[in-house]
A and B are shown apart, each in its own frame.
Chain A
Amino acid sequence: DAGITQSPRHKVTETGTPVTLRCHQTENHRYMYWYRQDPGHGLRLIHYSYGVKDTDKGEVSDGYSVSRSKTEDFLLTLESATSSQTSVYFCAISDQVSNTGELFFGEGSRLTVL
């Protein structure tokens, strides 16, 4: 299994509070992604990174920011959490060198915003 660790795995917070989710990889893969999973929508891309300090927006980026100061860590921040951001968040990594197209996923982080 690819070495991907998400933390925290579960979090309950209140509307208006900041939240940071962390994704840590031990594979030295260049690409890292944050997706959210909601019923009826599958997984939707929030932000992704193609290198240290290189990030770009996905299809549902509003209300989220990311940072990648080291190859192994990709942080997702909700500056002021809202109830619509209650979701399961998945981090994924990709080895573009092998170019198989496959993404490897973390175990997910369930966030509840009350």
Chain B
Amino acid sequence: AQTVTQSQPEMSVQEAETVTLSCTYDTSENNYYLFWYKQPPSRQMILVIRQEAYKQQNATENRFSVNFQKAAKSFSLKISDSQLGDTAMYFCAFIIIQGAQKLVFGQGTRLTINP
């Protein structure tokens, strides 16, 4: 079974600080994608960043970057220069490329950025 674990239910940092959200996953497959989704209070699911498992280079999107450790099955999200608008639930997820593409989610981390 494919599983995703986010061990930090809640985190809180001051504006402009850097914060890292943890995620581990379990799969016996080799070809998959990993994602971080953001869910603000509006409830909309927003893709933050995406990583292909076959790529060794860590993905970056502006202030967002990941630390992908394939052997350890770890996929953490780093948010630099955090902003008030980053306050949201963050979900780690992965999807197997072959067959039906079913996205498997972690439990989520509620991140609060304080002014």
Q: Which residues of chain A have a CB within 8 Å of any CB of chain B?
A: 31, 33, 35, 40-45, 48, 50, 56, 58, 88, 90, 92, 94, 96, 99-103, 105, 107-108
Contacts and interface: CB of A to CB of B under 8 A. Distances in A.
16 contacts: A40-B9, A42-B6, A42-B106, A43-B93, A44-B105, A45-B104, A48-B102, A88-B43, A92-B103, A94-B101, A100-B50, A101-B97, A102-B35, A102-B50, A105-B44, A107-B44
A91 B33 CA distance: 20
A43 B32 CA distance: 19
A40 to B, nearest CB: 6
A43 B4 CA distance: 11
B27 to A, nearest CB: 13
A88 B108 CA distance: 15
Interface residues of B, number: 24
B100 A48 contact: yes
Contacts of B91: 42-43
Contacts of B47: 102
Nearest to B47: A102
A105 to B, nearest CB: 4
B95 interface: yes
A105 B101 contact: no
Contacts of A103: 95, 101, 103
B88 to A, nearest CB: 14
Question: 5 tightest A-B contacts by CB?
Answer: A101-B33, A105-B45, A42-B105, A43-B105, A101-B95
Which of A41, A42, A88, A102 lies at the interface centre, i.e. has the most chain B CB atoms within 10 A of its CB? A42
B50 A58 contact: no
B41 to A, nearest CB: 12
Given A42-B106, A43-B91, A50 B100 contact: yes
Contacts of A105: 44-45
